[in-house]
Amino acid sequence: MMDSTKIAAEDRQLTVSLPDERVNVCIGSGTYSIVIKGADTAERFAMIDMWIPPGGGPMPHSHLCEETFYVMEGEVAVFCGETRTLAPTGSAMNIPSWAPHVFHNLSDKPARLMCTVSPAGLDRQFLEIGVRVATRTSPPPSVSAEQRAELMKKIPAIVEKYDGKVLPPDAFDHLMTPEEIQFLKDAEGA
């Protein structure tokens, strides 16, 4: 039983996150809604609502924070180290600190993931990289090839700033079929 006299001496209050007050950003084809900011939790954790369209998912990467996903809708293929796992609706997974990983929506329907990272930081990284949009399901705005190329040059330094590392784009191709790789290329070009 917890001793009520040992309450943490913090100057924090209850955090309430309402959908219409959240910041939403597009990174690639996905839209990420910052549900709980690290600033609200003394940087202990952050929570992000991820909307991943068919063919979507991040670049292969690793980072200091632990990353836990709960698949609320759809499914994603998760690649972590040398393991490939299909995560359908209702699945949960934890990606350990610094584990090389990526996830892809290889289906024809959007996926929705609730992601918690600990410690926080990924929320600020997303805000720095992403383009702000109106809602958690807003499609990405049109970006010229030049703008995309400029952002791609900046991303590794931004990721490193938040204790992460971008991996080669083909880091997990050996765990996918040629058809899946083509599906992702086609989705990226759309």
pLDDT of res. 167? 97
User: Would you say 58 and 30 are in contact if contact means Cβ atoms under 8 Å apart?
Assistant: yes
What is the Cα–Cα distance from 10 to 182, expressed in whole angstroms? 51
The fold of the 19-136+145-189 domain, in CATH, is Jelly Rolls (2.60.120)
- 10 Å CB burial of residue 117 (0-12, 13-18, 19+) is buried
Mean pLDDT by 10 residues, the chain (190 residues): 56 91 94 97 97 96 97 98 97 98 97 98 96 92 88 94 96 97 88
pTM: 0.91
CA atoms within 13 A on the CB side of 127: 16
The per-residue pLDDT for 144 is 86
* 189 phi/psi in degrees, rounded to 5: -80, -15
